[in-house]
Every structure is written in C-alpha cells, then in structure tokens.
A = this chain, B = another copy of it.
C-alpha cells in the first residue's frame, strides 16, 4: 500500500517535471516541481541500490551507485567543456568532491550515529581510501605548484595536464583491478554477511534494471532542476562559483546523498562510506582527468588544464584531510558527522562571500 503510493508519486512527479521543462513553464513552478520530483527519484534510487547491495555485497553496491551517480555528472560536464565553460566545470568538480566528503559523509555519520552509538566498517578499506584520497589531492596540487612557480608555457602546461590525467586514470583502473579482483576479499565488509534480516523486494535482475532506470531518472530530473537554477542565481545574486560548487553539486549528487544516508540509518555504514568516498575518488581520479582529455580532443584553440585555483585546492585539500582523519579507524559516531558538516558550513560561507 505504502509502496504503491510511493511509485504513483514517483511517476506523477517525474512526468510533471518533464512536461514543465519541455513546455517551458514558469521557472519558479519548474523549480518547485523538480525539487519535489528529485526527492522521489532519489528515494527510488536508494531503494534500488539497497536491493542490489543485498545481492552484491555492500561494497560492489556502493561502487555501482557511485558510478551511476557520476555518469550523469560526467555527461553534463562534457557538454559544459564543449562550450568552453572550464571554470564552472572545475567549480562543480570541487563541489562534488567536498560535497561527498563533507556533506554526504557528515549527514550519514550524524544521522546514523544518532540511531546507533558506534558504527563500524572494514578498516582496510578505510586505509586504502585514505591513501587514494592523498594521491588525488597531491596529483592536483603538484601541477598547480609547478605550473605557477616555474611559469610553464601553454605547451608545457598541456603536456603536464595530459600526463597527470593519464596517470590518474591508470591509478583508477588499477584500483578497480585491486579492489574488485586481486584483493576483493580483504576489502569486503564482514558485517554484510551477517546481515540478512530484511528481505529485498526485487529479484537480482529486477534490482539491477531498477538501479539503471532510477539513475537515468535522477540524471534527467537533476538536469531539469539545474536548468532552472540559472534564473534563481540571478534573482538571489549568488556568484557562479558558489552555484557551481554548492548548488549544482548538491542537487547533482542528490542520488548519492539520499542513498548513503538511508544506508547509514539502516546501520550499513560500510556501503554509505563506499558511496560517498568512492564517488569523490571517482570524480578526482576518473571524471576530472577524462574531462581534461576531452577538452583537449574537442577544442583546438583552448583546453582545460589541471590547475585548480588556490581556494579550490584549499577546499579540496582540507576536506580530504579531515575526512581521512575521521575515517581512519573504520568506526563512526554522530560527533564525527558534526565535524564534517561544520567544515562544510565554513567552506560554504567562504565561497558564498567570494
């Protein structure tokens, strides 16, 4: 009964927001409708992820969720790169990374921690995630220092950007080999095996189909919602940097957000961490470098280099450090969530004032 109501709401809101978008309705109406729709589609994605996680284990489920979530972002960003909007792309990459590390992880730890005193997950995974996060920030930091300090020419800038992008993609692909093939068992979540309490609603195949469908719906509604934001930013006088790094990043990651938080509240904190950190690692090690390579293939006159601004690097750097510090023991509580959210608030306020 409750389920039927949910799916009716989901289809109605999705259809309405499609009609609003293509019918060029009033922007305020479009915004409200899409905002409600995103709650439904994100909830749907959460259900599908959880069902897949039941069959595939928390980690693979988390990985699938992160990948489907970022696929939508990657497609939107490719269109922005094609139009040469490099600064907005970098701002939204920054926003996605800090949004996942601070907002998603923070809310998961806080809400999960209010329900369960301590939540634990595989410490080996926490350690490897930490090392990968360090590599990601270092790989963004090193070119920025060299290119600025040594006054590299455009060609040297391009060469270094291509080299670092290729190295990061290689790291990401080898990480998949390591975590999904050679050391799969070492990183698995023991908690998972003991956790068969809840029976999933769908079969294995249906779950996977539902995950794909839900992701596509999230991608569409996110795009429609982002489309309405432009008008709003002008009304409220927000800077493009703030909109790119906070508004677009929050809305664009709604799927990961709701899925991770729902899992945390069901004491599956391992899957929540996998979604949040996995997603930010995927953006830093895969999405960002792919966009750099794409920009070089597409544009003949200009390209997107790997040099982020000092405030973007600062935001990513401090987020990685605090997330690494909070995560390193593989155990979480509500106060660790507070710490992450407080830093997100500081960064949000600072970006807002820029």
Contacts and interface: CB of A to CB of B under 8 A. Distances in A.
Contacts of A227: none
Interface stretch (A6-14, A19-27, A40-48, A160-168): A160-168
Interface string A332-354: 01111011001101110110011
For chain A, give the interface size range.
35 or more
Interface stretch (A62-70, A81-89, A129-137): A129-137
A21 B172 CA distance: 46
Given A134-B322, A318-B138, A345 B167 contact: yes
A139 interface: yes
Contacts of A149: 309-311
A350 B145 CA distance: 10
Contacts of A347: 142
B325 A134 contact: yes
Given A130-B325, A183-B333, A329-B127, A342 B171 contact: yes
Chain A interface mostly: helix
B138 A321 contact: yes
B349 A183 contact: no
B353 A131 contact: no
Interface string A152-177: 10001001100110010011001100
A131 B167 contact: no
